Structure 1
Amino acid sequence: MPTDVEDAVINRGIAKDADNPELTDMDFAAMCASADSVPDLARARRVRGPQKTATKKLVSMRLDPDLVERLKADGPGWQRRANDMLRQAVGL
């Protein structure tokens, strides 16, 4: 959570942005579900096309919590990096 000072800076930024004003209680009360305002769009379902490369196989394995936290500590892409490490470990 932001501190009071950070929150004040955020709110000043919101007040200066005329193109993106903060929503009021009246704005929220006037809102309706997207299915009511654009029903055709709400009904549309996107279908994923065929994959261009071989799919990966979903597996479930139990790992020590400290190992998972260490892998995640390097940020997004940790599963790909773990996959690369396993490939190297088994000589692929």
Structure 2
Amino acid sequence: MNKKPNPELIDHDNPEWTAQDVKTAKSFSSLPATLQTKLRKRGPQKSPPKVSTTIRLSPDVVQAFRASGDGWQTRIDAALRDWLRTHSPA
């Protein structure tokens, strides 16, 4: 069962790789060391990186935030940050 791609999501400047593309691709370790160093570097972080964690939330809370669309996890983070302004977690 092949699913047709969404035409709005097709990036003609970045086509999907063919089997031949995969076959002729070079591994990262085969690139010159100078290029590897350049590709590994990240720019300065605009803000401290977030911490990945797992928490259990009530289903209704998750549903409400997910229903609000993309970025729902960021909105949960903002809601918790707002709560911390007026409450002590202990």
Q: Could you state the TM-score of these two structures normalised by the residue count of structure 2? A: 0.46
- Quick one: higher RCO (CA 8 Å, sep 6+), 1 or 2? 2
> Which protein is bigger by CA-based radius of gyration?
1
User: Is the helix fraction higher in 1 or 2?
Assistant: 1
Q: Could you state the TM-score of these two structures normalised by the residue count of structure 1? A: 0.45
